[in-house]
Structure formats: C-alpha cells, structure tokens
Structure 1
Amino acid sequence: MNVNQAKQERPGERLIYTNALASAADVEGFRLEGEAKISFPEGRMRLENALDPEQGQKSNFVFWCPESFPADIAVEWEFVPLAEPGLCILFFAAAGREGQDLFDAALKPRTGEYPQYHSGDINALHVSYFRRRWPEERAFHTCNLRKSCGFHLVAQGADPIPDVEDCEGLYRVRLEKRGGHISFLINGLPIFDWLDDGQAFGPLLGGGKIGFRQMAPLVAEYAHLRVYELDARQF
C-alpha cells in the first residue's frame, strides 16, 4: 500500500485525533523533555538532538503529544530515518503510577534521560524501533516492546526498515493496544504481538499519553500522526 494513500477507518475503530506534523503550528502545545531541534524543512516534522551525543543520556529527548487517549487505541504515523546511529521509541499509555496525568506537577521532572521513563514515577508501554545505536543493534535489527514501571522486555520482532542509505520514502508504522493485546506493524507487516495477562508485569495499563523519543545522534522525520479508538469487543 502506498503510504500516501488516504487512510480509511477499519471495522471497530474510530478516528479521534489527526495531525499532519507538517509545521510548527501543528505541534503547538506538544511538550519537549530534554533539548532538541524541531524543524519542518520538507513539510514533515524533523527531530534531532540539540546537545552533543558525548553527553550520553542527557542528549536524548522525548516529544509528547498533549492529548490524553483512551485505553484501546491504534496509533499510526509515517517515519523515515535521515542519519544514524541512534534509535526511536514510541511511548504510549503513559501516566503517573498513581493514575495522575503525565504532566501532573506532583511528578518528578523529566529531562529525556531514559531511566526517568522506565524506572521513575510513571507507567508506560514503549516500543523501540530503528535501533541502530549500539554495535549489537546495528548488526541485528529488532523492534522491542517494554512495559514500565520496570524495565520489562516483553516482546521482540525483526525490524524491516533498512539502514538510512537504503531507505526509500516514508514507512507506515502502526501500534495497536486493545485490552492486554499489543501489536506492532510496519508497512502492514506484523512485527510482534503480545498479550499482557495483567499479572506477570503488573496490572494492565489504561489510557494515557503518547510521545516520540530519539536517541542521539539520530535524525528522523515524522508525518501524518493518527490515533483511532478501538472497540475492544472486536478482538
């Protein structure tokens, strides 16, 4: 399927949020944690680190959509990496561990450093993809799903996106969360499916926020963010 084709709602889903990510006006109200350069030179959101990668975790960042979403959703976006190494993450179902809104002032400040997100005072699920930061990731490409609080690796699948020099156009990414069932697809290709039993790694997570994370010095572009509410009865 051409990633530029108009998207149609599928049975059991309803479009509740759409964002072209084409200009600064489109991300007004988004929350940046850490420091980043955010630009739109090709009519797509380009993210890159603002700090020297030699600063380690301090050079990484998270860019949060301000909307709160329900528990059962599908998130779609289009993605292309422009420079590596680095990696990308989508956080979803992100909220305080006591059910607070992610931006509640009572939560500890977050500055883009990874442990603040997986072992701090928030819960979230997050999928990492286009993982090209460490030698073992560059030699063997996978997409990983983790559940937090905690650093629980719960699912893994092969990453079909090629290295930057071989990328052609945008890649269509889709994340689905329906009850305890999590699935991840790239250009319609299933990457992994995982069913959370609500016990082994803590209770099922409900609604919350979504955010894009990048690890320096990766440069990437994003477009056409869409969120659908899913009918859990369809699963």
Structure 2
Amino acid sequence: MRTIFCLGLLLITSRSYALAADAKPETISPAGQTQVSLVDGKWHVNGQVTYPGTKAEGLLMNVRMVNSTFEDRRRPEFDVEANTAAFLAQIPSYAAHGVRAFTLCLQGGMPGYEGAVNSAFAPDGSLRQEYMDRIRRVIEACDRQGMVVILGCYYQRQSGVLKDENAVRAGLVNVVQWIRDNGLTNVVLETANEYPHRGFVHEVLRSPEGQAGLLRLAKQTWPQLLVSASGYGDGKLHAPVAEAGDFLLIHFNGTPVEEIPTRIAALRKYGKPIVCNEDDKTGRTAARAAELCVENGASWGLMLNQLNQYQPFIFQGADDDPVVYARLRELTIPSKPEPQRQATGMKFLPPDVDWDHPVYQTSFEEPADLEDWRLEGGLRMSVAGGNLVLESRPGSTKSEANANHLVCWLTQEVPADFLLEFSVRPENRQQGLNIVFFNTRGLHGESIFDPALAPRDGLFKQYHSGDLNGYHISYWAAGRGTANVRKNRGFHLVAEGTDLVTDGPAGDFQTVRLYKHDGTIRCTVDDALSVAYDDDGTTFGPVWTHAGWIGLRQMGHTVRCQYGHLKVWPLTSGK
C-alpha cells in the first residue's frame, strides 16, 4: 500500500519563511485537524477514503474560489473582508452538496477586468502578512468543515509582481514553509495556474522544464506536501510536469464534454490521481462533465465565472448553480438505506447496568441543581415541584416557534455505554417534538463546549449538520406517530419505531430510558420498547463508541415540558 501524507509538524521551533518587511509577527496556530493524504491513488481525509460507498469514492470534487480572498491595491474601496466573509458563510452549503475541496490562489484569478493588483507576494518573493492572514482564515474554516484546500501560488496576470526568477523560487519556498509552519494539514499545493500560459513573464513558470523544477523544489522544501501544477483548459499536461507532481491537475474549460473520457485516458499512463480543478461549464453541461469525470475515475472541479470569479463576486452556496450542485450531491452522497424497523411495544429491561454506581443523578429539587446544565436557545430553564422545566416563547404553530428551539445539555461527560433514565411530562401531548442527543462530541473529538466550535443557539441544523458527531432520538413527535433514531453529523435516519408519548396518560409523567451499548441502542417508554437500532458501523460512518454529552432538546412548538429524576448509570460490561 502506497501512502502519501500531508501532515503538520508536531513541534515548530522557528519560522524560516520570509515575510514582507512591513509584516508583523503572529501566533502560530496549532496543527490542523483535517489531514489530507493519498493512499494507493485515492484521496483520504483523516485516514478515511473520500465519499465511501459512492461512485466518487476516492475522488476530490472541488470548486474554484480563487477570488474569495481577492484584493486590488488600485481599488482600495473594495471591501476585502466583506467579500471573504460572504464566502466563509456559505462553506457549509457547498460541503453539504458534495464539495470536498476549494481552490484558492495567492494571486487570485481573473476578476472580470484587467489591471488589478492582487498578490500575496512582494517583489522579492516574501509574503505579505495581511494577505496570508486572510488566506489562513479561509483554510482554517475549511479545516473545521473537514475540507481540503488546493492552494495555488502563481497566476499569469499577477506573476509580473515578482522581480525575477530567483524571487519566484523564493516565493514558492516561502509558501511551502508557511504551510508547514502553520500546521495546515488540509492543504495541497498548486505551484502555478495553467503554467504554459503566455501571460507568465518568467520562463521558469511557463516552460514544462522550469515548472517541473519548481515542483521538485517544493518537494525538497517539505517532502510531505502534495504538489502539482495545472495545465491549459484542454486537459493535457507535459510529461516533465506530470512526472514531477504527486497528482495531475488539469482544466477542462476548452474541452468538449464528449472528449473528457479520452483526455482522462491519455493521462492514466502516469499512474497518478487526476484532478480537474477548473471547468467553466454550467447547468446540465457541467453536470454531465462531472458525471463523466467520476465514471472515468477523475475528480472534477467547477468554475462559475459570472458568479464566483467576476466582480461583483457572489457566493450563494448550492444556489450558485442548483443543477450542478444537485448532481454533485447525487454523485457523492451514499444512497440512503431503509431505516431499521423492529417490533415495538414489548418489554425491554437493560441487561448489564451497574445500578449501584450511577455516574450522575439529580432530582431537580432546587435552583442549584441547574448548575450542571447549560441551556442553548429557548426562553428559560427552571425548577418547580422537583422537576426541570424547559420553556420556549409561546407559538401556536411550528413556523411561529421556529426561533424558539432549545437544547439543554448535561455538562458532565457521560461514558460511551450507559443507561439514561428520566421522567417526562409535556404540557400538551398533541403539540410538540422532543429529542435526546447522546454520545455527542465535536467532529474531531472535542468537548461540545470547546470555544473553537461554532456558536449554537437552538437552531436544529447546528446540532445535526454542524460540527458535532453523535446520535439523537426523537422519542416524541406529535402527529407523526414514529420515534426515530438519527446519526450525526448529517441527520441520517437509521431507525423508526413508535411514539409512545403522544397518546400517553394525560397529566402523568412517563419514564423514558435510553440504553446504549456499542452499536446497540434501545429507547423505552414505561419499559415498553419505543425504537431500536443496531449500528453495524457501515452505515453513515462508524459506531460512535466515544464518551460524550447528553442533551434534552425541545422544538419550539413544544413550548413547555417538565423532566424529573434524571439518572445515568454505566454498564457493567464497560467496567
């Protein structure tokens, strides 16, 4: 098995790359949490092949967003920060539709007019701090989403900023060292965009031999970094460039759709992963281009000139081109298996609970009992009559209550395997939906209270499709009839059972128990099985076997609900 890693240094003792003379030193960020690698010619992120179980397995579907960090020093009125912020806000939307990488560039791209001055390089090849800070902010945002960045160095319209070929080489070395020293483990390098372009003023950039030399220089500077250079829009590369890079970067702007398979086939002789990271087709034509790339084992990348490339730069997530992004999602998202449906209603008594040693218990007798709980969203939490009371602002319909969702987290970490028990009494059993989150952690194993995670205020997608992994069960959903188990991140429905709360005894408390042992999940209401799920670790990711946090969620239209006598026990099998 051949594995090539792009990994950050565990210990950084100094910074050896050159910053422009006016640059101010900054704190080096910790090593990245998203690590990209190549294993036997397939792309992997954090040790897992990309898009497992799909047609695009092992590929890197991407979008060119080189002007998300654009500046023009001749037009100071352009709001650089607002432009970058607009892109950052849409990264989750692109990611949700199958995009796993973005191409950025330290000299941007064509903004729709000539004469712009947009470069992270000073004339001597040193790096301009302000520009690099902006680039790093985008890279780190991608890192948090588990995404890769194809970072370009030189662009034909800006290469003249560099005073000579020595500056070009120095600039490349500075970029490689900057990536390494900042621990940006989700980055691969594109030394030049369309290297044969006549717009490059330096021979070392536009000649195949010179470009191959730059690729070798990058590898000598940091052998672990994955590097390549992109060719013209005809999908072709010169042999010296193809042989010097770790993967093959091609463009399909000028390539008719029907010729894509032939162009890909011609590159297979190099035995390296093929990544198209620029194709300006749109709509159905672009969707077909993506299909053909995937069918022929190549990654594909979209470039939307009129929206993302040319001013005014527009970033709308998947709404940029709904047809293309819908197809990307189809190619990269596994087809959903039917949720498990097991018989419900029978008695289920947990077999291996350590009843004598609860890890947490409370009776909610006084306000001090709330110190172990943290409320996100909603109106308030309080204690009354020996119960926890969670309330949202009143709303008579689901739509009116959308802004009132809440999650109340137990701040104590709970073992991976456990039994949770609590009593519950909704104010109105015919209106509302309640959920339990469990085994919940950050995507990279963080505490859910880690300040580096995105803020949460009760909005549902922040919990099921944000930066948290875990499970949740909707044990009560008035009007739906089912109790559901979902696996996160991704809101994947994996099991359906029976809602035993809606038609429960009016005015009475019911006892909910949630049992979790490895992949075995059982939820009961008054000892009757409500929903069951057996996670085999092959559906929507691995079994969540980590310790984590438990949260009680109410959708806004629940309005008010009481909980009592909450306890958590470990399992004897986990001792």
Query: TM-score, normalised to structure 1's length?
Result: 0.86
Bigger Rg, structure 1 or 2: 2
Which whole-Å CA distance do the structure 1 matches of 2:432 and 2:574 have between them? 38
- The answer to which structure, 1 or 2, has the higher relative contact order (CA under 8 A, 6+ apart) is 1
SS class of match (1:217): helix
SS class of match (1:117): helix
Which stretch of the first structure deviates more once superposed, 53-62 or 20-29? 53-62
Offset, 1:86: 1.5
Paired position in structure 1 for 2:415: 70
Offset, 1:193: 1.9
Paired position in structure 2 for 1:120: 466
1:65 partner amino acid: L
Offset, 1:106: 0.8
Q: In structure 2, do the counterparts of structure 1 residues 51 and 123 end up closer, same or farther at CA, with 3 Å as the change threshold?
A: farther
Paired position in structure 2 for 1:131: 477
1:89 aligns with 2:444: no
1:67 partner amino acid: Q
Alignment partner of 2:388 out of 38, 45, 49: 45
Which whole-Å CA distance do the structure 2 matches of 1:221 and 1:51 have between them? 16
Aligned residues: 219
Contact 2:471 2:487 in 1 (8 A): yes
1:211 partner amino acid: G
1:119 partner amino acid: S
Which whole-Å CA distance do the structure 2 matches of 1:119 and 1:148 have between them? 7
Offset, 1:10: 6.8
Alignment partner of 1:150 out of 469, 490, 504: 490
Offset, 1:190: 1.1
Contact 1:33 1:62 in 2 (8 A): yes
Which whole-Å CA distance do the structure 2 matches of 1:162 and 1:33 have between them? 25
Contact 2:477 2:502 in 1 (8 A): no
Paired position in structure 1 for 2:86: none
Contact 1:161 1:167 in 2 (8 A): no
Paired position in structure 1 for 2:520: 181
1:192 partner amino acid: V
Offset, 1:12: 4.0
Alignment partner of 1:217 out of 547, 554, 557: 557
Offset, 1:68: 0.4
SS class of match (2:511): strand
Alignment partner of 1:193 out of 532, 546, 551: 532
Offset, 1:25: 1.2
Paired position in structure 2 for 1:79: 424
Offset, 1:217: 2.7
Q: In structure 2, do the counterparts of structure 1 residues 159 and 54 end up closer, same or farther at CA, with 3 Å as the change threshold?
A: closer
Paired position in structure 1 for 2:454: 108
Q: In structure 2, do the counterparts of structure 1 residues 233 and 110 end up closer, same or farther at CA, with 3 Å as the change threshold?
A: closer
Which whole-Å CA distance do the structure 2 matches of 1:54 and 1:147 have between them? 25
Paired position in structure 2 for 1:6: none
Offset, 1:74: 0.7
Which whole-Å CA distance do the structure 1 matches of 2:351 and 2:485 have between them? 24
1:202 aligns with 2:202: no
2:531 partner amino acid: F
2:373 partner amino acid: F
Structure 2 unaligned residues grouped into runs of 5+: 1-349
Contact 1:35 1:49 in 2 (8 A): yes
Contact 1:19 1:26 in 2 (8 A): yes
1:159 partner amino acid: D
SS class of match (1:58): helix
Which whole-Å CA distance do the structure 1 matches of 2:420 and 2:442 have between them? 21
2:535 partner amino acid: D
Structure 1 unaligned residues grouped into runs of 5+: 1-8, 133-137
- Correspondence list, 1:20-35, <5 A: 20-35=363-378
> Residue deviations 1:210-231, cap 9 Å, x none?
0111012312100011001113
Contact 1:23 1:45 in 2 (8 A): no
Which stretch of the first structure deviates more once superposed, 199-208 or 143-152? 199-208
SS class of match (1:142): coil
